[in-house]
Structure 1
Amino acid sequence: MTSALLHAVVGSPQTPSARPADAAHRKHHKPNGKGFQNPWASYIEQSGPQILLKILGMRISGKWKDPDTTPPTVPVHKPNFLPTRETKSLRTTWLGHASFYVEFPGGLRVLFDPVFTERCSPFSFLGPKRYTPAPCQVEDLPYVDAVCISHSHYDHLSHPTVVKLAKKFPNAQFFVPLGNRTWFENSGIRNVTEMDWWEERELTLSATDSTTSALERDNSNPSQPSDIRATIGCLPCQHTSGRTPFDKSRTLWAGYSITSGGKKLWFAGDTGYRTVPETQTTEFDYSEKFDDLPSCPVFKEIGELRGPFDVGLIPIGAYDPRWIMSPMHANPYDSVNIFADSKCKTALGMHWGTWVLTSEEVLEPPRLLKKALEWKGLDEKVFHVCDIGESREF
């Protein structure tokens, strides 16, 4: 079956979804206009040098532990993408770390935070290296209509990857948080839609030639192709951004909601949930002793205003040492709270199993997720993990 070229139109929805009453105040914009901030008590700012000094101190004292990446770790399979745009289910394929390929009923194909390089680094010879291989490459993807980028960190935004994607899929639309458009345009990519938190865009894909059998939806007139339509929302999360030591939080970070073909998905992005104090190193930080720690309020807002979601893609890894990483990375106990707050019917864990970014054991996140679900009183079937390259249908 020949793949049809699709003409994409991006516009504003005629009927916008609900947003918080204070969204127009844009408290996440820094007052000086030079970047963004997390405007909640759940986040305590740490500079890059502060974090590096803390890690260096732990290494010198012997308190830092490097996880063992000796195989076997996470199973990796070659993805089985659908050969056409036909599917009745919402179908997700985990490509490692925060990368997902999602196939929607009705034909839409979306790629989240694609990174196919060996290292998540500005260098090909230095920086975190994969301990599990990429399950595929750009050349293996059958269709890409939209690429959603959560933020500018190297484990979520890869220059070689997005350039290859734009070359193979010239009509693909890139959706990015505020401040990232210039980077894409400097990379030669023009199909870029920049969004602020709580904003939405309507994406309409129309066939441009007669080879459109994969898009036919009208049984009464099989020769008439249907448009593919989607609503893409940019939603808050608790994190930072930056690609150099000098541009921290100059561009925005975000998650996304995608509604298409009667299904609704939420990609949480990279996020923390609460800030655990430095004095906490060994205790369980969801005990009564830590009940006064504030949690990020936006996930309940997302659930109440944009949920429920058929599936959520929620981070569960890169959280240890907790007192360093908690402002910006969720551990599985945070993750199940985020799941409940956001009103997801089911969820898959991400942001683990690919690069060593922190010090927890590489297979600890899924083990801890089971314990967290039990602690929360949730069935483990509602929030689970899959192998790299594995597809799940919802």
Structure 2
Amino acid sequence: MLLPAARLARVTAEGATAREWGRSFGLYLHVPFCDVRCGYCDFNTYTSDELGEGATRAQYADSALAEIALAREAVGQRRVDTVFVGGGTPTQLASSELVRMLRGIEDAFGFAPDVEVTTEANPDSVTPASLAELRDGGFTRISFGMQSAVPHVLAMLDRTHDPAGVPQAVRWAREAGFDQVSVDLIYGTPTESVDDWRRTVEDALAMEPDHISAYALIVEQGTAFARKVNRGQVTMPDDDETADKYVLADDLFAQAGLQWYELSNWARDDAARCRHNLGYWYSGDWWGIGPGAHSHVAGERWWNVKHPAAYAQRVSAGASPRMDGERLDDASRRLEDVMLRIRLREGIERSALAGDPEPLIAQGLLEPRGDRVVLTLDGRLLADHVVRELT
């Protein structure tokens, strides 16, 4: 059942004074379609031959718009600060459909004057015309899934794009007038050498993006990649090599003028930081549209049914697609708050910590800054350990 609008507005107002980001409101729009499901990916994605009637790409926008209407009924009039369209591969849908869903969000809620609107994209799923249509339709930011510049690494990841096409896609996005262009990278793939990773980072920087995300490959149980690892078909690199790659990337990014603002994210300046993701890390409010999408509003979290057909059936009948939810108690919320905010360059107030930060400062894992503590480079490499000690 969706939250009643009156209760939602009351609880939101009560919690709004904690932080500026606590007053932010974002919309996440999940597009679950991919041409090929990558072996390492555990996101809620589907290829077209896995889906039946009612869940086709051509019908998807109507389903999403139906949930947007439900969200507006539950939340009431609340201005949207950020929109993030992820997946899957959002650009598997026609640009006109992405713009139609964006217009639906704007019509339902209204946009902040400086609204940030991001879409993810595979570099081989865009054209100059499609990018121009997205930009003209209100998208301000685009994030390309580059992952690697090395063909054998992409093959290990089941990525099918030609790495030579990434600079072209970035150039097209610039020509279309996007305010910010980001690229996503993955490091720590089996068979990837340090030199392979250096090539990837240098090729990414040569495109002069405003923002880079770089994530260590994680073996997610239940994926095809995990089965290969469990069978001994591939061997993951050791932790020291993965750490070396992070340090290398951080150094090269800094030399190019990109500074870290979150453990896995670097930006050319504050304006280039992904405000939508900052809303997550600062525990702002967001509504997730689409199958399997998660939401967090007024301290309550819930998630939708995962399969697109079940999702479409519910929203077309005017019913909530919600599958389950939870409300964290105060202790759990404080723990989550530390886990999220310690990841940020701004760090976290000492008063928010249950553990003593002094031993971690002495070990060189935290740096004191007034009434706050911030992860050092070594601390970023051992962030999980730091969180355990602070909570």
Bigger RCO of structures 1 and 2 (CA < 8 A, at least 6 apart): 1
Q: If the length of structure 1 is used for normalisation, what is the TM-score? A: 0.29
- Structure with the higher helix share, 1 or 2: 2
Q: If the length of structure 2 is used for normalisation, what is the TM-score? A: 0.29
